[in-house]
Amino acid sequence: MPTNTFTSPRCIAAPEFSIATFTHSRLWGVTRNPWNPRFTHGGSSGGARAALAAGTTLLASASDIGGSTRIPAAFTGTVGFKAPYGRIPGVAPLSADHYRVHGPMARTVDDCLAFANVLAGPDPRDHVSLRPKLVLPSAYDPVAGMRIALCVRLGAYDVHPEVEANTRALAQALTDAGAEVEEIELPWTKQDILICLAAHFSAIFGAVVSEVEAAHREQMSAYAAAFADNMAVARERISYLDGLRVETRLQRELGEAMAPFDALICPTSAVPGLPAGDDLLGRLVVNGEDHGEPLWAPMTLPFNISNRCPVLNVASGRSSWGLPTGVQIVGHTYDDPTVFRIGKALEQLRPWAYTPDHQPAL
């Protein structure tokens, strides 16, 4: 096992500015996935997620502006909840960024639910925090009779065959339990999603990074400097209004597609894992195979665009890469209980809770 993997300080490790789908930095080195140290456990809340998967902590929290609760949850077989915007108070000024939310991480759905109940509620320091406080129930009806949409590709993503197979197996388990699962497709394109992300990140989060980059570029890692450069280009080419026009259309299309259903399920990541220590500035090459542009590996960003939707990641199975895979359970706007209802059912239908046969061998 590498020496730079699971020591206590790395429980709080994160990529610089929390901008990456991996976790390494000049300060802490490379933090690795306890299931297979050749791979990252994701990011940005990577150190906490590695600690969860390794069994050295019980609970953790994260901010999620592009997948920070869900990406590392998928790669480690743990649970991550992206709460809807305003459910859990945040810290100014980025608490006002409507792509950015906060959420709990745990090894089981019940632990994640209990932590969500602690974190949620109004706070006068964050005026967008919702009132009254939502208290999630601990017990739910079975999924029999529910209508659930299955969307494997979200219109825009090239999904690895093993990720697709595990997602479909999970959908079949819901069907066997009495839910009506219907496969749908969304009309989203990579260009649409890219416009939203370029407009939004360049105007808000990218501007924060650029302020630091202007004075301290020589101290930044290559991926952080590249992010600042890309955001500077995006600010010149795409306006915030350009992004809002596409963003509201994508939100409407999701709402219309989900209208006949109680929830939607889809993969959390299009690929089973990402290599540890790679800045992912070129092509994503794993096991000698080219998997395309790294931006399109996580499938989480569309639900930061549609950020009033609660999203719960649970494990869907294992891949031949030695890593767990995950699915996102997407609820209607502010319908948190439904995603936990489905998540608790899946934990029973396809057991993967933190038991001796579902934890990495350290």
pLDDT tens digits for range 311-330? 999 999 999 999 999 999 99
**Residue 3: inside a domain:** no
Instruction: Give 63-123 as a DSSP string.
Output: EESSSTTTHHHHHHT-EEEEPPTTSS---TTGGG-TT-EEEEEESSHHHHHHHHHHH-S-B
Residue 279 lies in a domain: yes
Residue 174 lies in a domain: yes
Residues of the chain with pLDDT under 70: 1-12, 46
Q: How many domains does the chain have?
A: 1
Does residue 79 form part of some domain? yes
In a domain, 72, yes or no: yes
pLDDT at 219: 85
Distance CA 136, CA 120 (A): 10
**Residue 131, Cα to own-chain centre: how many angstroms?**
25
Domain containing 78: what range? 8-358
pLDDT for 105:
93
In a domain, 316, yes or no: yes
Q: Given this model, what pLDDT does residue 12 score?
A: 66
Question: Is 44 inside any structural domain?
Answer: yes
Whether the link from the prior residue into 132 is cis, omega within 30° of 0, is: yes
pLDDT at residue 155, rounded to an integer:
96
* Residue 328 resides in a domain: yes
Which pair of tokens denotes residue 167? Answer: 């997602």
Strands of the sheet with 311-318, listed across from one edge: 59-64, 101-106, 79-82, 311-318, 324-331, 263-267, 147-150, 180-183
Question: What CATH number has the domain bearing residue 123?
Answer: 3.90.1300.10
pLDDT of residue 171: 98
